[in-house]
Structure 1
Amino acid sequence: MSLMELRRVWGTRPLIGAAVGVLLQDESGRVLLQRRGDDGLWSEPGGALEPGEDFLTGARRELLEETGLTCPTLRLLPLPGGLQSGPELYHRYPHGDELYIVGMRAHGTLPAEALNGAQPDDSGETLELRWFALDDLPMLSNNANRQSMSLLRSWAGLPPLPLHPTPPPPPPGNFLLDLRKVIGHRPWFAPGANVLVTDEAGRILLLRCGHTGRWTLPGGNLEPGESFAETAARELLEETGLTAARLDPLEMFAGPEYRFTSPNGDVVDYVSVLYRAHSVTGTLTPQPGEVLEVGWFGVDELPDDADLSGALIQANLRYWKKLRSQPNS
C-alpha cells in the first residue's frame, strides 16, 4: 500500500513518516537547498523511505530524484545529531495531511560547480536548486529543515534557528494497532527503540515476549509525536518497571535485513534506535501479558538465535557483544 492509497482511507490524521534528509555542502560551507513544489519554500533534499529501504540508500535515491546529483562522500551522520524525531517535527502539508517526521540525516560535500549538472526529475517536487550561506538562509519549509540547518550552523559556530510552534501530539494510544486495521498485514515501517540494561555483573536483561514466546530487549514502537528517546524510556518503564537516569543512543538499525513477520502475519520494517541505559533504578516488574519472564544473561549465556525475536534483536545483541569487547565499555 502506498502512502497515497493509505491517505484515502486514513484521511489527514497524523502519520509517522520514516524519512531521510540530505545535507550537502560545497567547498565554502554553503548548503544546497531545493525550493519545494508543494509550498514554494526551501528545504534540504530528502523524503520518505520506501519499504525495505535503509537510510543511506534512501538518501542517495532522494538526492538523485530531486536534484539529478550523486555524492560519493554521502554518509549518515552519527547519533545523536543524525537522528530526527520528536513533537517539534510535526508538519502539516498544504492539502491538510499531517505527519510526524522521524529518521536520519545524511551529509556529504560537492564542489559548487556540481550544481551546473543538476537535473531534477519531472515530478514537480523541486522548483529550484541553490547554494546558500548558513548565515543567509531563505524561508524554510518546516522544523525538520530548521533543525538540520541548526546542526550545520553549530559546526560553523552560529546560533540555532528558532523552531515554529507545533500543536500538542495526539493522546497516547496504540498507533500501529490502529494503522493495522487499515493496512492489514502489508509491510509498513515501525519506528521504535530498544534498550540495553546490564547489571553489576555485566549481564544483559532480556524479556520473553508474550506475543512471540521469544527473547527480546525492552523496547517498542513510537507513538505520533514521540522521540526515539521518549519511546525508549516509556517502554523500559512499562515492560520492566525500571527507570534510567540517562539513555545514550548507540546505533540506528534499519533496512531490508530487519523486516519481521509477526505470528499473526503482520509484516514490519523496523527502524529502531538502540539505547544504553545508565544508573537504572526501580524494582524489576514484568508487564503482565506482554512479558512472560525475564532473565539476566552473560555474553556466553545468550539464547540461540532461533530463540530470539528476529534479526533486529540478534543484531542488537551482536552490537552489545562488540561493545563489551571495547576498552572502557
Structure 2
Amino acid sequence: MDLMALRRGWGTRPLVGAAVGVLLQDERGRVLLQRRGDDGRWSEPGGALNPGEDFLSGARRELHEETGLHCDNLRLLPLPDGLQSGPELYHRYPHGDEIYVVGLRAHGTLPAAALERAQPDDSGETLELRWFELAHLPDLSSNANRASMNLLRAWAGLPPLLLAPTPPPPPPGDFLRALRRVIGPRPWAAPGASVLVTNDQGRLLLLRHGHTRRWTLPGGFLEPGESFEQTAARELQEETGLRARALEPLEMFAGPQYRFTYPNGDVVDNVSVLYRAQDVTGDLVPQPGEVLDVGWFGVNELPAADALSGPLVQAQVDWWHRAQPKG
C-alpha cells in the first residue's frame, strides 16, 4: 500500500515513519545537503524505507535517487549515535501530513568534486545540492535534520543547534491496531524494541506470547512520539512488571529476513532495536492475556528455533547466545 493511498484513509494524523538519513562529508568536513522541493529548505539526503528494505540498502537507494551519487564507504552509524527516534523528531509537511521519524543514520565521505557529477532523479524532491560548513548551516527542514547536524557538530566540537518546538505526542493507544483498520493485513514497517533480561544465574527471560503461543522477548511496537528506549521500558513493565535502571542499545534488526506473519494474517516488517536491561527491579508479574507463561533459560536450555516467535526473535536470541562467554 503506497503512502498516498494510506493517507486517504488515515488522513493527516501522525504516522511513525521508519527512515534513514545519509550524512556525507567531504575532505574539509563539510556536509552535503539538498534543498527540498516540498518546503524549499535544506536536509540531508534520506527518506522512508521501502517494504522489507534494510537501512543500508535504503541509504544507498535514497542517496542515488536524490543526488545520483554513490558512496563506497557508506556505513550505518553504530548505536546510539545512529539512532533516530523520540517526540522531538515530529514533522508536519507543508500539505499537513504529520510524522514521527524513527530509524538510523548512515555516514560516508566523498571528495568535494563528486558534486560535479550529481544527477538527482526527476521526482522534484531535490532542487539543489551544496556542501556546507558545519559552523554555517542553512535553514534546515526539520528537527530530524537538526539532530543529525548536531551529531556532526558534536564530532567537530561545535555547540548544538536548537531544536524547533513540537506539539505534545498523541496520548498512548494501540497505534498499530488502528492502522490495521486502514491498511488491512498488508506489510507495514513496524518500528519497535525488544529487551534482554537476565537473572543472577545468567539465564535469559522469555515470555510465551498469547497471540502466537510461542516464546518471545519482552518488547513491542512504538507509539507515535515514543523513542525506541521509551518503548523498551514501557513494554518491559507492561509485559513483566519489571523496571530497568538503564537500557543499553545493542543492535538494530531490520530487513526482509525479519518479516513476520501473525496467525490472523497481518504482516509486519520488523524494525527493532535490541536493548540490554541493567539493574532490574520489581516482581515478575506476567501481563494477563498477553503473556501465557514465563521462563528463565540458560545458554544450553533455549527453546528450539520453531518454538520462538518468528525470525526476529530467533535472531535476537541468537545474538544473546553468541555474546555469552565460551567455555
TM-score bracket, normalised by the shorter chain, equals over 0.9
Find the counterpart in structure 2 of residue 287 from structure 1: 287
Find the counterpart in structure 2 of residue 89 from structure 1: 89
| Cα deviation, residue 323, structure 1 | 1.6
What is the CA–CA distance in structure 2 between the aligned matches of 1:269 and 1:263, rounded to whole Å?
A: 15
Residues 200-248 of structure 1, C-alpha deviation per residue, up to 9 Å, x if partnerless? 1000000000000000000000000000000000000000000000000
What is the CA–CA distance in structure 1 between the aligned matches of 2:275 and 2:159, rounded to whole Å?
A: 28
Find the counterpart in structure 2 of residue 252 from structure 1: 252
What is the CA–CA distance in structure 2 between the aligned matches of 1:89 and 1:326, rounded to whole Å?
A: 41
Is 1:27 the counterpart of 2:36? The answer is: no
What is the CA–CA distance in structure 2 between the aligned matches of 1:20 and 1:50, rounded to whole Å?
A: 11
What SS is found at the alignment partner of 2:56? helix
What is the CA–CA distance in structure 1 between the aligned matches of 2:326 and 2:187, rounded to whole Å?
A: 36
What is the CA–CA distance in structure 2 between the aligned matches of 1:52 and 1:144, rounded to whole Å?
A: 23
Where in structure 1 do 4 or more consecutive aligned residues deviate above 4 Å?
none
What is the CA–CA distance in structure 1 between the aligned matches of 2:300 and 2:191, rounded to whole Å?
A: 30
What is the CA–CA distance in structure 2 between the aligned matches of 1:62 and 1:99, rounded to whole Å?
A: 18
Find the counterpart in structure 2 of residue 150 from structure 1: 150
What SS is found at the alignment partner of 1:272? strand
| Cα deviation, residue 326, structure 1 | 7.7
Match runs of 1:5-44 below 5 Å: 5-44=5-44
What SS is found at the alignment partner of 1:283? coil
Structure 1 unaligned segments of length 5 or more: list them.
Answer: none
Match runs of 1:62-211 below 5 Å: 62-211=62-211
What is the CA–CA distance in structure 1 between the aligned matches of 2:325 and 2:183, rounded to whole Å?
A: 43
Which letter does structure 1 place at the counterpart of 2:213? Answer: G
Residues 30-56 of structure 1, C-alpha deviation per residue, up to 9 Å, x if partnerless? 000000000000000000000010000
| Cα deviation, residue 321, structure 1 | 1.3
What is the CA–CA distance in structure 2 between the aligned matches of 1:326 and 1:239, rounded to whole Å?
A: 31
After superposition, the Cα gap between the structure-2 partners of 1:107 and 1:190, relative to the gap in structure 1 and judged at 3 Å, is same
What is the CA–CA distance in structure 2 between the aligned matches of 1:326 and 1:45, rounded to whole Å?
A: 43
Structure 2 unaligned segments of length 5 or more: list them.
Answer: none
What SS is found at the alignment partner of 2:226? coil
| More moved, 20-29 vs 314-323 | 314-323
State TM-score, norm by structure 1: 0.99
What is the CA–CA distance in structure 2 between the aligned matches of 1:77 and 1:37, rounded to whole Å?
A: 27
Which letter does structure 2 place at the counterpart of 1:141? Answer: S
Q: How many pairs does the alignment contain?
A: 327
State TM-score, norm by structure 2: 0.99
| Cα deviation, residue 322, structure 1 | 1.7
What SS is found at the alignment partner of 1:5? helix
Identity of aligned residues (%): 77
What SS is found at the alignment partner of 2:302? coil
Find the counterpart in structure 1 of residue 276 from structure 2: 276
Which letter does structure 1 place at the counterpart of 2:23? Answer: L
What is the CA–CA distance in structure 1 between the aligned matches of 2:295 and 2:29, rounded to whole Å?
A: 50
What SS is found at the alignment partner of 1:238? helix
What is the CA–CA distance in structure 1 between the aligned matches of 2:63 and 2:326, rounded to whole Å?
A: 36
| Cα deviation, residue 325, structure 1 | 3.1
What is the CA–CA distance in structure 1 between the aligned matches of 2:113 and 2:30, rounded to whole Å?
A: 12
